[in-house]
A and B are shown apart, each in its own frame.
Chain A
Amino acid sequence: MADTFIKIASVTVGAGGASSIDFTSIPSTYTDLCLKFSGRCDTVDNINITFNGSTTSYTTRYLYGSGSAAASASASTQYVGATNASTYTANAFGNAEIYIPNYAGSNNKSISTDSVQETNVSTVYMVLDAALWSNTAAITSLSLAPSSGKYVQYSTATLYGIKNS
């Protein structure tokens, strides 16, 4: 049976934290990319994505549930999901899966994410996000970052390549 879900690279943040986690020189040999992220930030609770160093042409629409209510919103930002913030239960991490089909193609790039937070309070979010990077360039690098602060030690990101054959 062919290997269709292949780990490209994985990294765990060290003691100093990281303002961003960047994957560079992503090979173009796969059909899709899948990024699994277990994270916690020392300030905010979000995940923003950047492709090829570009900070423009991103749009996003997301559905979110807080435990007592559900809502949706849209924005022209690099937001793709939620993770744990500094105020959340100590040593607890949020997790997210970010899927990027046809990342090496010549159409605009769509992104779908499901992410959850983990904390012992009544309001805690799960977020389903559909985003678009309106750029036809093949994705060769991607960066995950909170809108401010750092991802803390033991946050882990693993990038997988998916082959359709």
Chain B
Amino acid sequence: MADTKIVVDCSTGEVSEIELTAEEVAQREADAKAAAEAKAQEEADKAAKAAEKAALLSKLGITEEEAALLLG
């Protein structure tokens, strides 16, 4: 089944279901790829930050709770 979009014409209230054009399909594929890459980057940044934090705690020889106490 072809992908469709719902279009609401606010001047008339008319609602139409329209099949996506090839250009729109291509744009959606590009958007999906960009979103997946952005999500992967976000996850990688989170993991890197967590690893950096763990390494620092290990270097200091304290737990996360002890670090929180120091900063509190």
Enumerate chain A interface residues (CB-CB to B < 8 A).
8-11, 13-14, 16-27, 44, 46, 48, 55, 71, 73, 75, 77-79, 143, 145, 147-148, 150, 159
Contact = CB atoms under 8 A, between A and B. Distances in A.
Contact of A9 (B5, B10, B17, B24): B10
Interface centre among A25, A78, A143 (most CB of B within 10 A): A25
A22 B7 contact: yes
B54 interface: no
Interface bin, chain B:
20 to 34
B31 interface: yes
B35 A148 contact: yes
A24 B4 contact: no
B3 interface: yes
B3 A23 contact: no
Given A9-B13, A77-B38, A18 B6 contact: yes
A21 B24 CA distance: 13
Interface in B1-45: 1, 3-13, 15, 17, 20, 24, 27-28, 31-32, 34-36, 38, 42
A11 B28 contact: no
- Minimum-distance CB pairs A-B, first 5: A147-B35, A148-B32, A25-B11, A20-B5, A18-B6
Contacts of B38: 75, 77
